[in-house]
């Protein structure tokens, strides 16, 4: 199901603990869903490269890098929120219970 995102364009239904592969050429190598509750979806994405940006459409935090781990984005998005991270657009189309539909495409 999430393999459809490997080219950078998809709309998929996800639940917690799902890893979504993304093409590195858009500045993200993957996106992992870490939680879904109260109409919000939480994600983490490892940072690659040396330039990172977000348009602020979702709540974003940056953690790291640390001694033995890379830096990563933490994102929390509500139903209907859209954000652009590096060259990828991420939209939470909707949240129902413990599942969400997300849309990913090049920005």
> What single-letter DSSP state applies at residue 54?
B
Per-residue pLDDT tens digits for 37-76: 989 999 998 877 655 666 667 888 888 777 777 778 889 9
pTM over the 0.75 mark: yes
Cis check for the bond before 65: say yes or no (omega within 30 of 0): yes
Confidence bin at 10 (pLDDT 50/70/90): very high
Q: How far lies 34's CA from each of 7, 25, 40, in Å?
A: 22, 23, 11
pLDDT for res 107? 86
7 token code pair: 């080219």
Q: How far is Cα of residue 58 from the mean position of the Cα atoms in its chain? A: 10
Q: How far lies 18's CA from each of 21, 34, 55, 97, 104, in Å?
A: 10, 8, 24, 16, 15
Closest CA to 103 of 25, 41, 51: 41
The proportion of the chain whose per-residue pLDDT surpasses 70, expressed as a percent, equals 92
């Amino acid at each position: 199901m999430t393999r459809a995102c490997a080219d950078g364009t998809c709309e998929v239904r996800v639940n917690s603990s799902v890893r979504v592969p993304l093409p590195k050429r858009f500045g993200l190598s993957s996106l992992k869903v870490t939680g879904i509750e109260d109409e919000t979806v939480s994600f983490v994405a490892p940072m690659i490269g040396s330039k990172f940006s977000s348009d602020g459409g979702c709540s974003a935090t940056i953690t790291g890098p640390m001694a033995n781990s890379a830096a990563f984005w933490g994102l929390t998005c509500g139903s209907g929120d859209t954000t652009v991270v590096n060259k990828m657009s991420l939209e939470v189309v909707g949240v129902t219970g413990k599942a969400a539909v997300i849309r990913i495409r090049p920005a």
